[in-house]
Amino acid sequence: MFRLKPSSETINLNYIECNDRILINNHIYRLEKLGYIAAPQYNSYRNLKPGVYFISRDNEIEEERYPKVQINSSSYVMKYLILKSIVERIRELGEENKLYLPRNWFEYSQVSCCGNAIFNSIPNNLFCIRQCIIIRIEHVLIDNDDALFLLADMKYRRFNRLILERIVKILLDKGCCIDKINTLLKDHYYSFREKNRRYIFMGVKLFYQDNLLKVEINIKEDKRIVDANKIMLNPHPKYTRKFIEKILGENLSDIEKKQRLLGRLRPKEKMDEIKRLIKTFFIENKVFPILISGIKYYVESNPVKIIWE
């Protein structure tokens, strides 16, 4: 765990007094739709009253309708506000292609992000391995004082680049005609994203329209024409794995072996890598120090061990 050190012992936040869990969640939903970062406090705890504590995303706009309260800058509720503020910055880094954000990279309690590919499958680079760091913020009492810590873990994760457009190009380069490609592609599962919703379906049909290659797909009995660069092949079924290895010619055994070998780190080696990734991903990219309501939170470079008795 890496301790977070605030630049002040206290912090000012906007506050909505509320005791009802459902109303608290409704307030948070409304505020975040308006551009705020909000956190729940469902019960009284260490001088924190139940309700909603919130800040503006740009640290400038204030909500005048609700009062300001001053609390300990390491209070329990701050773990949510800090994590959500980190999410905002990491989202920006993902959009700038400085970090790779995997699917479902932000959950309620943790954030995942990755660096550049460190190993690629051959010969078509359809799979790659990336270092992925997973972080969360926790509140801990130390000698009855509030303290905040960044918890971090690191994994080597495998990702695929099975975009239909790439697959079709490989097959065309191998001399396959469109009819042959359609035969090869018809019995596999695919995914398609639209408006933050993911659809899974079986089979695709390629055809030319005005000399451009298009794809017909069926989603819940609804036929759609989409671009091949928006469709992903699902690699998991055994039949599809054989297609990837035998027809596309991709060597999956080597990248699976490499992933296993990379994951066999001794505890000290793994901790050194976590420290390096925190510095590379979060400090050099200016995630930390993170500014919340005029207070800067710094992350200490050396981890600590806490033993509960």
pLDDT at residue 64, as a whole number: 64
* Range in 120-129, 201-210, 264-273 the model is least confident about: 201-210
Q: How far apart are CA 160 and CA 127, in angstroms?
A: 4
Per-residue pLDDT reduced to its tens digit, 67-85? 889 999 999 999 999 999 9
Per-residue pLDDT reduced to its tens digit, 116-158? 999 999 999 999 999 999 999 999 999 899 999 999 999 999 9
How high does pLDDT run on average in the chain? 91
pLDDT at residue 212, as a whole number: 80
Arithmetic mean of pLDDT, 201-207: 90
Measure CA 224 to chain center.
29
Tokens for 5, please give them.
Answer: 């050190």
Which single residue is written with the structure tokens 């998991």?
236
* Range in 59-63, 75-79, 140-144, 177-181 the model is least confident about: 59-63
Residue 249 clears pLDDT 70, i.e. is over it: yes
Q: Would you list the domain boundaries of the chain? A: 83-160+261-284, 164-234
Strands 127-142 and 68-72: unpaired
Arithmetic mean of pLDDT, 95-113: 92
Arithmetic mean of pLDDT, 283-301: 94
Residue 41 identity: Q
DSSP label at residue 122: T
Sequence length of the chain is 309
Q: Which of 59-73, 100-114, 190-204 has the highest mean pLDDT?
A: 100-114
Residue 269 clears pLDDT 70, i.e. is over it: yes
pLDDT at residue 63, as a whole number: 56
Tokens for 20, please give them.
Answer: 């009802």
pTM above 0.85, yes or no: yes
- Contacts by residues 113-119 (CB-CB < 8 Å, ≥ 24 positions apart): 113/281, 114/157, 114/159, 115/277, 115/280, 115/281, 117/159, 119/255, 119/258, 119/259, 119/262
Arithmetic mean of pLDDT, 254-270: 92
For 20, other C-beta atoms within 10 Å of its C-beta total 12
Q: Which CATH number fits domain 164-234: 3.40.50, 3.30.110, 2.30.30, 1.20.1540?
A: 2.30.30
Residue 169 clears pLDDT 80, i.e. is over it: yes
Q: How far apart are CA 13 and CA 16, in angstroms?
A: 10
Q: How far apart are CA 189 and CA 204, in angstroms?
A: 9
Per-residue pLDDT reduced to its tens digit, 8-53? 999 999 999 999 999 999 999 999 998 899 999 999 999 899 999 9
